Structure 1
């Protein structure tokens, strides 16, 4: 029979001259088998590692207890969610009420048991200066008494006429190139402006058309504009004159038109320009925003009527009006 001894232990038979590692001291007398791969490394069977007898030498028992009681390295915690976070994964940590009580909780019934907000604790944020608020309320009350409930013309127009201001995203073009498009669509209806941008040869016309479509949808949804004449009301088409002396036919008073359109600078982008001899230049690419103000045709109808009324109220021009002579001297001034 051949004795199953490791080659390294046969070479280090004397413990005084050879100092094996600590792991080998513990399992000195334990039988195990070894394998050698083509790389030349030694591997131990897992079954042999499990069947390890207890050490009999006091030094070996001391080493075994040291390795057993040796603390492991603490795991690094690089941050995480708090226990009260709504983004906490319930599949991993469980629901907070189930962790504490161990029973499932009906959230639909317990959602009404949440305590309401305390208004006393919110006064510091909602009303930071109570005395100034009281003075402002007194001032507004006095103003209402003086006006006897009458509204200003601006307040009446805000209640009767709708409008929407919409700002576009950053368009990759310059202000010089976008201003002609803004002037082209000003004063036109939204439908006509979209057609103009659809057949325009300008590169930025595509972005302008997309923004006009977005602004139109936003006006319909948010402001309730361009919904047509209500049922039961009759409107006959008429011709009106705009500010720039153009005649427009109005078939629907709720039709959207672009009352104003202006251009503003946005953030600059950066790109690299590779040049000769290994040099690199940094180019600043401009971006521009387009803001449009949409209103309904009833606004232009009111403005047209006000201009016509102003013309009708003018007095007849007279070459030599009959007015009294005042501030005359009794002596000649020369």
Structure 2
């Protein structure tokens, strides 16, 4: 059995274990001599005694430091954790809906302490320095002041009046939701977008549930997510929640959409899909293996679908605006309405 070490290294390492006083009593090959022509290799990490145990590390405490020297004392004291160096716990903003009730000034009533309930001032929250957070929340303070000044001047010039767009944004709700990329082409997803546009949200979800197309399942999943986002973020579709008296319920209203289709609507807060469109995404590459070792690249398309959800009150307003515009329109006449002139009793021939 041969070792993988070279002969010279093996011979040099073997001479380091031979005591110098008894070099003459050993009969080794001619390569091994007792002269110190080759330095001995020191194995500092090698332990000749396999049964030797390592000394356990002593934990540095205040009692153990007293047993050390002056230099060791200074080094050990620097490694000890400081008494006031505890990490500061973070906290949520006072406007967060997940803010917990923090213990504050308690009032004693009957010997029981009651914590303070309510929003905590921003300056009293531990671990939040407004000057440090201003770099992210207000990176351009001068530009923000100029913009606020401009908005105040605009409001004063308009004497506090709102235009039509501002009134609609303040009184009506809408929600835009864009889906993640779906593994389908625009050619396959566009007919589904046209199918659900203009329909009530519940009816559109039923259409996608029983559709035979594969991409309809992804569209249905996105409609469910968009509905949940609109309810939680915008409060849409909650008009009929909490009604107890039947007389308070709104009567059914006949609403006509822009395509001329009429529907009976009982709840004006019911959501419908006002717009739906598709957008082309990035392509994914794949190989198309052909005969004789040939291959071509396949570009697999990805597409996203976006929907705009609104309430039936918006569709009712649009219907009233169309009717008012129709009534204001002048009556069409085929010929100009001018008075007849140069009339004679007899023909002029």
| Alignment CA distance shift 1:219-1:99 (3 Å) | farther
Counterpart check, 1:183 vs 2:227: no
**CA displacement at 1:202 relative to structure 2:** 1.4
**8 Å Cα contact 1:25/1:60 also seen in 2:** no
| Alignment CA distance shift 1:109-1:194 (3 Å) | closer
Larger helix percent: 1
Q: In 2, Cα distance between the equivalents of 1:276 and 1:212?
A: 44
| Alignment CA distance shift 1:99-1:280 (3 Å) | farther
Note the residue ranges of structure 1 that are not aligned, 5 or more in a row: 1-17, 31-56, 70-97, 324-334
Counterpart check, 1:27 vs 2:17: yes
Number of the residue aligned with 2:131: 118
Matches within 5 A, 1:1-334: 21-29=11-19, 59=36, 63=40, 68=44, 100-101=80-81, 107=87, 114=127, 116-118=129-131, 122=135, 126-127=139-140, 130=142, 135-229=146-240, 231=243, 233-314=248-329, 321=337
Q: In 1, Cα distance between the equivalents of 2:259 and 2:302?
A: 30
| Alignment CA distance shift 1:210-1:99 (3 Å) | farther
Q: In 2, Cα distance between the equivalents of 1:124 and 1:238?
A: 46
What whole-Å deviation, never above 9, does each CA across 1:246-294 have from its counterpart, x for those lacking one? 1011111111100000011001011111100111111001111100000
Note the residue ranges of structure 2 that are not aligned, 5 or more in a row: 1-7, 21-33, 46-77, 92-124, 340-349
Equivalences, count: 250
**8 Å Cα contact 1:162/1:225 also seen in 2:** yes
- RMSD of aligned residue pairs (Cα, Å): 3.7
| Alignment CA distance shift 1:241-1:110 (3 Å) | closer
Number of the residue aligned with 1:53: none
**8 Å Cα contact 2:175/2:230 also seen in 1:** yes
**8 Å Cα contact 2:182/2:302 also seen in 1:** yes
**8 Å Cα contact 1:26/1:60 also seen in 2:** no
